[in-house]
């Protein structure tokens, strides 16, 4: 399967964006099971963006969204001049985040072994009959250590774009051709059991590919790469049809593209979760989903007066298309009985924004993250240091009815969670915070605070700004 998928489309009409803020965005959007995490940050002239789509709960997506920026932006890029150097940093970051996550669940892994010793030698029936509480507790532990996440990050460094991903989130770079038409370049490949290259990799490990195709899953997943999910990593031998593998079949090795020179032909970059493009595929049956989504955002770019309005309108339109297909009835409606949560993030390069609407700034701590469209709308280039005013970014997330505290849709969609989350509520699995609500550092943040103080002295940040 090719690394890049390209197609030509007619000139469209616009796109989404919100400028990046100074510092690391470590505390991010809502915390909720099976949620999606997004964020962006600016650090010493570098721009970093991410989408993290968790499965079996939000524990891994919370962890990865908080840890990934620190594995890339806290000095690791200093002195890195070549594309291969930067790609190596991104590769090492993915593996470091996964190692850190597994270290954080050591207590659960120990508990799993202890519980299994209590029922060792018993059949499943005997174990449940004699020790139902232990079996239920063991199932809960297995569910927690099965948590994992797809991850997609984009790094802009010295006017070059780098994209790294595992799983099924998608990145699209939209450029203009010499004749003015738009060219959509898919920078990511879905790492799942429908990818022939991934199936070939699994066959080389000794797995029966036909069984995987028939079962339509790899353990409990469609994805063949992710961060986390211990049961498909260190615990893969507990699955009968995976136990023949020579090594771990599900891996955290990222696919990396870049550096891609950001020139005048680059219009915008789109990062999205699987829920966005799958909803269009399910509702329309199209194979041209990248073209449809790009044209949607271009259209809304010319119709809306704010960047957040553009992003919100795009996601709202996707939800409406999916819902309308469901209520229309018939065989095709069955494809739309369920809908994944969605996250859409767009970075604008040279695409014009004809109807911008400015708004006053308020200082926002980068460590507190973005929690709602109203927060995002208040980020403007004046908050950052040495920001190119033509470079803007917008992020907007939508969750299904039961999970959303920011936006609620009347929808048929079912979810695996019944509780609603406040946009300012931290997940029970989030990393510990200090008395000021900031993450306890596991690395030295002194260089960050030094940059904040310099920005205050230069007048780029107000004196009452609290990092």
Over residues 332-363, the pLDDT tens digits come to 788 888 888 888 888 888 877 777 665 333 33
Higher pLDDT, 423 or 447: 447
Place of tokens 């990248």: 290
Name 85's Cβ contacts closer than 8 Å, sequence gap at least 6: none
- Given a contact cutoff of 8 angstroms between Cβ atoms, the answer to whether 182 and 8 are in contact is yes
Q: What's the pLDDT score for residue 375?
A: 31
Mean pLDDT comparison of 158-162, 302-306, 325-329, highest-scoring range = 158-162
Higher pLDDT, 457 or 193: 193
Domains of the chain and CATH, by start: 16-104+147-168+188-257+341-457 (3.60.40)
Q: What's the pLDDT score for residue 455?
A: 75
- Given a contact cutoff of 8 angstroms between Cβ atoms, the answer to whether 49 and 73 are in contact is no
Q: What's the pLDDT score for residue 380?
A: 26
Q: What's the pLDDT score for residue 218?
A: 82
CA gap 339, 124 in Å, rounded: 34
Total-model pTM: 0.71
| DSSP type of residue 21 | P
| Average pLDDT of the chain, as a whole number | 74
Q: Is 157 helix (H, G, I), strand (E, B) or coil?
A: strand
User: 249-258, 396-405, 439-448: which has the minimum mean pLDDT?
Assistant: 396-405
User: 155-169, 182-196, 214-228, 384-398: which has the minimum mean pLDDT?
Assistant: 384-398
pLDDT, tens only, 107-141: 999 999 999 999 999 998 998 999 999 999 999 99
Q: State the pLDDT confidence band at 428, using cuts at 50, 70 and 90.
A: very low
Does residue 374 surpass a pLDDT of 70? no
Q: State the pLDDT confidence band at 411, using cuts at 50, 70 and 90.
A: very low
Does residue 4 surpass a pLDDT of 60? no
Of the candidates 55, 27, 59, the one whose C-alpha atom is nearest the C-alpha of residue 428 is: 59
pLDDT, tens only, 212-244: 888 778 877 899 999 999 999 988 888 888 888
DSSP 369-430: ---SHHHHTT--GGGSSS--TT-EEEEEEE--GGG-SS---------S------TTPPPTTS
Q: State the pLDDT confidence band at 273, using cuts at 50, 70 and 90.
A: very high
Q: What is the mean predicted confidence (pLDDT) over 399-413?
A: 30
Does residue 283 surpass a pLDDT of 50? yes
Bridge partners for 422 per DSSP: none
**Cα radius of gyration (the chain):** 22
- Given a contact cutoff of 8 angstroms between Cβ atoms, the answer to whether 60 and 422 are in contact is no
Two tokens, residue 133: 């509480």
Taking each helix axis as running N to C, give the angle between helix 83-104 and helix 59-73, from 0 to 180 degrees, rounded to the nearest 10: 140
């Amino acid at each position: 399967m090719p690394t890049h998928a390209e197609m030509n489309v007619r000139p469209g009409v616009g796109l989404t964006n919100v400028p990046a803020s100074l510092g690391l965005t470590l505390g991010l959007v809502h915390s909720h099971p099976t949620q999606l995490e997004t964020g962006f940050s600016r650090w010493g002239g570098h721009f970093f963006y991410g989408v993290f789509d968790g499965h079996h709960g939000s524990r891994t997506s919370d962890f990865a969204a908080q840890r990934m920026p620190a594995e890339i932006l806290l000095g690791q890029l200093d002195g890195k001049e070549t594309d291969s150097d930067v790609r190596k940093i991104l590769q090492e970051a993915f593996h470091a985040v996964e190692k850190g996550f597994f270290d954080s669940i050591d207590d659960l892994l120990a508990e799993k072994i202890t519980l299994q010793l209590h029922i060792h030698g018993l059949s499943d029936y005997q174990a449940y009959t004699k020790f139902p509480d232990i079996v239920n507790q063991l199932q809960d532990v297995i569910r927690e250590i099965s948590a994992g996440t797809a991850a997609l990050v984009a790094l802009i460094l010295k006017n070059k774009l780098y994209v790294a991903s595992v799983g099924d989130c998608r990145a699209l770079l939209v450029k203009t051709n010499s004749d003015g038409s738009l060219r959509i370049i898919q920078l990511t490949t879905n790492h799942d059991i429908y990818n022939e290259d991934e199936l070939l990799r699994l066959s080389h490990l000794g797995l029966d590919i036909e069984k995987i195709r028939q079962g339509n899953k790899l353990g409990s997943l469609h994805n063949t790469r992710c961060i986390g999910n211990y049961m498909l990593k260190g615990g893969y031998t507990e699955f009968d049809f995976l136990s023949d593998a020579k090594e771990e079949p599900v891996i955290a090795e990222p696919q990396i593209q870049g550096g891609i020179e950001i020139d005048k032909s680059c219009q915008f970059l789109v990062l999205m979760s699987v829920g966005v493009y799958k909803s269009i595929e399910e509702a329309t049956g199209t194979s041209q989903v990248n073209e449809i989504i790009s044209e949607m955002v271009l259209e809304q770019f010319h119709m809306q007066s704010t960047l957040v309005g553009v992003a919100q309108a795009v996601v709202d339109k996707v939800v409406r298309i999916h819902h309308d297909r469901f209520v229309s009835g018939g065989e095709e409606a069955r494809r739309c009985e369920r809908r994944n949560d969605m996250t859409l993030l767009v970075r604008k390069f040279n695409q014009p924004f004809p109807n911008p609407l400015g708004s006053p700034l308020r200082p926002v701590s980068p460590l507190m993250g973005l929690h709602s469209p109203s927060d995002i709308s208040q980020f403007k280039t004046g908050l950052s240091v040495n920001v190119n005013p033509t470079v803007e970014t917008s992020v907007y997330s939508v969750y299904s009815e039961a999970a959303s505290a920011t936006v609620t849709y009347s929808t048929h969609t079912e979810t695996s969670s019944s509780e609603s989350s406040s946009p300012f509520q931290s997940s029970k699995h989030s990393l510990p915070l200090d008395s000021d609500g900031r993450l306890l550092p596991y690395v030295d943040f002194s260089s960050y605070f030094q940059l904040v103080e310099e920005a205050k002295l230069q007048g780029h940040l107000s004196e009452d700004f609290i990092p």
